[in-house]
Structure 1
């Protein structure tokens, strides 16, 4: 039987080492080396090399596990678990690449672990602040090994909300802007950090009451979903209790404002 707590501690060490590489490269990063996966979808050698470091470390940590990776360094499908494996790592080597490229703080290493179809461990390492958020199924959530919890704020109008903006697919932009406008009027404010992994970790740590975004991939949210749940919060899709890991949209909260968030989204989002 795999000891998930020890495994998550080992995962945290692997993510910290990968984050150290990112921090080292940030000091002398050359923007001319940036490539484009899409119109505004950036990737750099730092993303790719960080992923290779993570894969190598995770293969030592849990031999035989499968991989879902953003940059495809293992050749795996970014939206489907590997067949025939009990465990699957879901990796975003540098969540917040655009921030990194422009020299802005807040970019993360994010790694979640699936056992069959259940998230059982996750780490988000925010490089700029040297904060390592860790969670294990049934074992709680931590930041730099201190327990974290979602807030007990009961109302949306007293909440700080996080979101992300679409940068490749603008087909639902008008609907999204209507939702954004409603949240701006019904809360303490809306923040756009530029890293979904950080947004979710900060909901877990009680810095935000809620977070919503669409067009996300599994590697953007895997670790963060478990962090929020283990910190006492709730994570769903926008309008129902669907799968937020592969469902391409996410609503995360302290639990108390969740239905208010979903009701706000429901007013303007196409069914």
Structure 2
């Protein structure tokens, strides 16, 4: 494992300890509503502080973009992208699908990634050019051809209700051609599962950088493809993402694109 990944793993496990410490006491937590259907708890904040502390000890000059703390200025050639608890709503309801997501971008290119599910004790890691791993075992995307018999992941645009009708049209375009569609509520884990071959493809509207920075590198290092709704490498800017192996990626784009509103085509 790359030394930088070791630091990220240490940070993710520190956050995981915080998350597990409170997972049976969520009724006692202070919870805020940041915006429509977007919650933050003291666990999110405490877990994020644990991550930042570990990173700053090892790399005091690096910059950080974290979901709860925002941007911490530093050397912009090295930027950490952090989601301390992806799947907060799941966590607050006792639904065990959530994870810590940490990625390092070097000159805007993702080079190291960690996604850690503390409840299931699953650790996904990747470094650029060195493959993707689950608990030290190499993982690969599936070899599915087309959409027949595939299991596809997705996310509802619950923070962007203006896109709901458009999303439903894409859902209807994909649904008849696959064996199943799953919406589990944690995009970081969806992308990690895609990298591990548990899902064949994935699409979602309106994600943030911290939702997908680590997962995107995992998908690529597992042999998959990821892009925006035009197939370009602009998903971190647009927040709109499609992913899968080479064939599934192409077919999903073909099914989705005719149903997009003009603003989602950009």
If the TM-score is normalised by the length of the shorter chain, which range does it land in?
A: over 0.9
Show the counterpart of 1:76.
Answer: 71
Q: Greater share of strand residues, 1 or 2?
A: 2
Show the counterpart of 2:158.
Answer: 167
Q: CA deviation at 1:159?
A: 1.1
Show the counterpart of 1:209.
Answer: 200
| C-alpha RMSD over aligned residues | 1.5
Q: CA deviation at 1:193?
A: 0.7
SS in 1 for 2:165: helix
1:113 maps onto 2:104 in alignment: yes
Q: CA deviation at 1:197?
A: 0.2
Q: CA deviation at 1:10?
A: 2.2
Tell me, yes or no, if the aligned pair for 1:5 and 1:139 is still in contact at 8 Å.
no
Q: CA deviation at 1:242?
A: 3.3
Show the counterpart of 2:43.
Answer: 46
Residues 147-205 of structure 1: per-residue CA shift (max 9 Å, x gap): 11101111212211000112222111111001112221111110001000000000000
Tell me, yes or no, if the aligned pair for 1:159 and 1:189 is still in contact at 8 Å.
yes
Whole-angstrom distance in 2 between the partners of 1:31 and 1:155: 47
Tell me, yes or no, if the aligned pair for 2:61 and 2:74 is still in contact at 8 Å.
no
Show the counterpart of 1:134.
Answer: 125
SS in 2 for 1:232: coil
Whole-angstrom distance in 1 between the partners of 2:75 and 2:118: 34
1:255-266 counterparts in 2 under 5 A?
A: 255-266=246-257
Whole-angstrom distance in 1 between the partners of 2:168 and 2:28: 31
Show the counterpart of 1:64.
Answer: 61
Show the counterpart of 1:33.
Answer: 30
Whole-angstrom distance in 2 between the partners of 1:83 and 1:251: 31
For structure 1, the 5+ residue unaligned runs are none
For structure 2, the 5+ residue unaligned runs are none
1:269 maps onto 2:260 in alignment: yes
Number of residue pairs matched by the alignment: 262
Q: 1:20 pairs with 17, 22, 40, which one?
A: 17
Structure 1 segments, 4+ long, off by >3 Å, are none
Whole-angstrom distance in 2 between the partners of 1:103 and 1:111: 23
Tell me, yes or no, if the aligned pair for 2:62 and 2:74 is still in contact at 8 Å.
no
Whole-angstrom distance in 2 between the partners of 1:169 and 1:85: 29
Task: Name the TM-score, length of structure 2 as normaliser.
Answer: 0.94
Q: CA deviation at 1:84?
A: 4.1
Show the counterpart of 1:150.
Answer: 141
Q: CA deviation at 1:31?
A: 5.8
Whole-angstrom distance in 2 between the partners of 1:221 and 1:143: 17
SS in 2 for 1:104: coil
